[in-house]
Amino acid sequence: MISYAEALEKILSEVRNYPSELIPLSQSLGRVLSEEVSADRDYPPFHRSAMDGFAIASKDYKDGQVYPYHRELPAGMSLDLEPKEKAIRIMTGAPVPLGFDLVIKIEDAYLTETDGQKQVTFNLKDAKPWQNIAKQGEDVKKNQIVLTKGIQIGTSEFSLLASLGKETVSVIQSPKVHIISTGNEVIPIHSSPLPYQIRDSNSYTITSILSKYKIQPESVTHVPDLEKEITEQIQKGLDADILILSGGVSMGSLDLVPSILQRLGVDLIFHKTAIKPGKPIWFGKRKNTIVFGMPGNPFSVQTCSRIFLEPFLRKSYGQSQIPSYKLPYSTTKQKKGSLTEFFPVRLETTDKTYLAPLAFNGSGDVRAGLFSDGLAIIPSQLSQIQKEDILEFLPW
Amino acid sequence: MISYAEALEKILSEVRNYPSELIPLSQSLGRVLSEEVSADRDYPPFHRSAMDGFAIASKDYKDGQVYPYHRELPAGMSLDLEPKEKAIRIMTGAPVPLGFDLVIKIEDAYLTETDGQKQVTFNLKDAKPWQNIAKQGEDVKKNQIVLTKGIQIGTSEFSLLASLGKETVSVIQSPKVHIISTGNEVIPIHSSPLPYQIRDSNSYTITSILSKYKIQPESVTHVPDLEKEITEQIQKGLDADILILSGGVSMGSLDLVPSILQRLGVDLIFHKTAIKPGKPIWFGKRKNTIVFGMPGNPFSVQTCSRIFLEPFLRKSYGQSQIPSYKLPYSTTKQKKGSLTEFFPVRLETTDKTYLAPLAFNGSGDVRAGLFSDGLAIIPSQLSQIQKEDILEFLPW
């Protein structure tokens, strides 16, 4: 049985390149850029006053000097200095006129008026050039690349793209995804279960994970453990870029998925990996279609989606992986066996931030992920975790 | 000038209760529950086999004993034991028949057949009752409350609600929000800026933050710094639950927003708070309308949205606040002045996870939030941060 690291490596070596599409910026939140974006001009585009106050030339500055002034420059306008003009009133966001290089904030200014002539003196010990001015190009230079392919558009990217005037952006097209839940015991959520039946939550888990990447599954189907019906659905599902199955991949006599997949020409890449939960996972491909055969238990699906499906999507999108963190564990924990173990934790902050366990009855537990912030990992070779031991943490 | 803590307290004491609406579960991701949800039955609903293997009675177990068997129980069915039936083949997810209380996994079973009679012996030292069985009700008891009002529906909640058969869920109705950007220097993103103009990114920042709560703004407008036009737009905007302005709240002579708001009968709750960035923020209300007057700089808007708007929304929704974390800082930092300072950081993991600074030229910096994971806080009274000092961290 291959290790977690080997399984992940095999999955990541099967990444696909999806084509690009051009969409309006306003619809791009959560999508992943497929173009490099460079600055259309310097940012700031001009020497911008960072304060409401007065602009002057720093070389002329003397403490206590009286500056006559008569003009005021709000943001959204510019002006050329008149001969002998030594100060102007300036507003935040306005361009500092050529010839001036210092803004003194209004709180440090003392305003007077003599015979209709406005005057100002300043209470400022140390006048440094470029004080209270955001210099042209100090944030970003014109033509500088500010965003690269593979960056997911969040608040900061969205705002920056708007600043740059990118009305449309090129993003990775969402892959076509089919989801098939299998299992005789599984019924749709609107049905009343018999005592030994359960409702299909796995397609909801997978749909939720896909929604993080703005992927809408093309179809969501359920089939009982019947050779003919599974075969039919998988056959249909193989026109997708990604086919995600849940259930039917374990050791039971009705675990028909692996044999049907192989009969339909899907090449097995691996079946089973040394992890808990999620051990029975099946992974393969047929031409351009990638097939994830996830186990049927709800927390196995959530775990496999996080540790295998998301990394696959992100690498296919050219996105970096979600970083994992290393944080101290809040208590002690035993691990039996030699599998790499994943369990739900929440972040608990006292003097510092710890990983804290939650009630967890294993992969079949319907509320296993609830109130958790992510998964902690116990490596295969460890059997005992002590309080303050540093564990790897994968945020959801 | 009031402190950050006082400002936040004043904002949180103005929370509103928004009504509920019933929506299909399939559309509920990211929405906030406005009902308590209890379990429709025990989970697991039956003593569920957690393994593919054999079910027997633990009290009868003897190491090396030969068990004849003739029946197989897949998931999705149930069976009653026949008299003298001592073992059945059982699959993961199937209900353990009444009378049996132990499942031995297939890997520990040795199968033989004598004269057409199937038999099994087990390689198991220690047979404990309920081994490899998820007991009925061990995760959740029937009628137990599993989700409460104010919980945002993420992957785990979505999956659990599906398991419980909640086809429709009661969620908080999104408030009606208007966004108004002000500023003569600000132009829409599809326009070509003159040298001293910048494009409106603030409405994109605010829209993105609202989208975390599945709120679509009712309108997004821009007005120049003209008394009449601002007055008109604010007047229209005051029919919202939340009116969010950016720009025009500082000390400049064209910062018209505070006086116009007050003339329109919006009661000032506070203007300015001792933070950086975001100091000039204006907050008030008229009847049921809450008004956030945010400063105009892009990173001020992003910061004020995270530290004031989101807490307001979450408390109005009955949601708990995003927890803040305490993590060591990766290097040293100086702070001038006595404001509480927020700056963008990313999480950097070496031997453990640190908060690491990013290039940051202040609140006007268009790429200030880029590649950051959240905000670190330097409390007002601190002026010097050392490597390894623990700072409070607000994730985005």
Q: A162 and B208: CB-CB below 8 Å?
A: no
Residue type, B167: E
What does DSSP say about strands B48-49 and B133-134: parallel, antiparallel, or unpaired?
Answer: antiparallel
* Structure confidence at residue B63 (pLDDT): 84
Q: Which of A44, A324, A370 has its CB closest to that of B364?
A: A44
Please classify residue A170 by burial: count the beta carbons closer than 10 Å to its beta carbon, then call 0-12 exposed, 13-18 middle and 19+ buried: middle
* Structure confidence at residue B79 (pLDDT): 96
Structure token digits, residue A256: 């028909």
The proportion of chain A whose per-residue pLDDT surpasses 70, expressed as a percent, equals: 100
Report the residue of A54, A191, A204 to disrupt the B interface, i.e. the one with the largest count of B CBs within 10 Å.
A204
* Structure confidence at residue B254 (pLDDT): 82
Segments in chain B below pLDDT 70: none
* Structure confidence at residue B167 (pLDDT): 97
* Structure confidence at residue B253 (pLDDT): 77
pLDDT digits (tens, 9 = 90+) for B343-392: 999 999 998 899 999 999 999 999 999 999 999 999 999 999 999 999 99
* Structure confidence at residue B82 (pLDDT): 97
The proportion of chain A whose per-residue pLDDT surpasses 90, expressed as a percent, equals: 94
* Structure confidence at residue B64 (pLDDT): 86
DSSP for residue A216 = P
| Cα→Cα distances B369→A160, A178, B345, Å | 9, 36, 8
Question: Is B292:B248 a contact under the CB 8 Å cutoff?
Answer: no
Q: Which residue of B has its CA nearest to A49?
A: B364
* Structure confidence at residue A250 (pLDDT): 85
What is the set of domains in chain A, with CATH numbers? 4-18+174-316 (3.40.980.10), 20-41+139-172 (3.90.105.10), 48-134 (2.170.190.11), 325-395 (2.40.340.10)
- ipTM comes to 0.94
* Structure confidence at residue A348 (pLDDT): 96
**What CA–CA distance (Å, rounded) separates A59 from B139?**
74
- CB contacts of A92 in chain B (<8 Å) are 250-252, 296-297
Question: Is A351:B390 a contact under the CB 8 Å cutoff?
Answer: yes
**What CA–CA distance (Å, rounded) separates A143 from A19?**
25
**pLDDT confidence tier of residue A157, bands split at 50, 70 and 90:** very high
Rounded to a whole number, what is the distance in Å from the CA of A76 to chain B's nearest CA? 3
Judged against a pLDDT cut of 90, whether residue A251 lies above it is answered with no
- CB contacts of A161 in chain B (<8 Å) are 204
pLDDT digits (tens, 9 = 90+) for A356-396: 999 999 999 999 999 999 999 999 999 999 999 999 999 99
Report the residue of B92, B144, B160, B303 to disrupt the A interface, i.e. the one with the largest count of A CBs within 10 Å.
B92
**What CA–CA distance (Å, rounded) separates B35 from B32?**
9
* Structure confidence at residue B281 (pLDDT): 98
pLDDT digits (tens, 9 = 90+) for A51-72: 999 999 999 898 889 999 999 9
Structure token digits, residue B366: 């268009």
Question: Is A177:A76 a contact under the CB 8 Å cutoff?
Answer: no
**What CA–CA distance (Å, rounded) separates A251 from A261?**
15
